[in-house]
Amino acid sequence: YVQRTFSDKINATFDFIKENWKILLKTTTYLLLPVSLVQGIFTGSVMSMAGLLYNPAFQSQINRGEFPIDWMEFGINYIGLMLTAFIGQFLLLSLVYTLLKTYNEREEGLKGVTLSDIKSPLMGNIGRCFIMFLVTILLCVGTGIVLALLTVITTFTLILTMPALIVFCIPLSLWPAVYLMEQNSVFGALGKSYRLGLATFGGVLAVYLVTAILASVIQGVFS
């Protein structure tokens, strides 16, 4: 692992993207386009049904306690939207870290690499992403139970627990990198992400904020 200054981290990130944007774009399109098309169908249905609730023509029905949409159909479409979003996230995380690992292991980097060349490690990372997702759900449920019990005792605990929760969430941004780039167990990777993340908390937070802002701008433009 290379030790870099904050500006060097940002530069290394953009250098990697500039050097490999073609393979990144091509493999991302091949992998995510089918999921995105299905997600688009669910998104269109959810948005059109949600739009009915704000349509003046249906306001009188809503005021009478009637609803102009089929809630079963809305629920199915919303679940489909969330499911395809999670699948897309799994695929994207798996692909990016598979490409990063391949880039580090080959002298020529990603030159000439195709999806068929990385199929085996990609499938392995997709499985690891799913395991990480299940563990994340367990952690969220456990954290929610603890917070609820503390709130029952007194709501003043939120003054301490909520900031602490935010602080302890920052190192989690390293968890996918540690778990997908190394051959650690899911809990071993979680522990290492906290050791590294808390030791370099300011740098992790700064990089996360900068990249999140840039990603939001780019996403907004394309949206």
Six token digits for residue 50: 């949600």
Cα 164 to Cα 171: distance, rounded to the nearest angstrom: 12
pLDDT band per the 50, 70, 90 thresholds, residue 26:
very high
Q: Give, as one character, the DSSP assignment of residue 69.
A: S
b/e string for 142-151 if b means 16 or more Cβ within 10 A? eeeeeeeeee
Q: Is the pLDDT of residue 4 over 90?
A: no
Cα 93 to Cα 177: distance, rounded to the nearest angstrom: 9
Least confident of 82-96, 153-167, 174-188: 153-167
Cα 176 to Cα 181: distance, rounded to the nearest angstrom: 8
pLDDT in tens, 51-76: 766 666 666 666 666 665 677 888 89
pLDDT of residue 1: 67
Q: Do 209 and 11 touch, CB atoms closer than 8 A?
A: no
pLDDT band per the 50, 70, 90 thresholds, residue 2:
confident
User: Which among 150, 187, 154 is positioned nearest to 165, based on CA atoms?
Assistant: 150
The structure tokens 């020529």 sit at 108
Cα 190 to Cα 188: distance, rounded to the nearest angstrom: 5
Cα 37 to Cα 29: distance, rounded to the nearest angstrom: 11
Expressed in angstroms, the distance from the first to the final Cα of the chain is 35
Least confident of 14-28, 54-68, 97-111, 123-137: 54-68
pLDDT in tens, 116-141: 889 999 999 999 999 999 999 999 89
Q: Do 113 and 168 touch, CB atoms closer than 8 A?
A: no
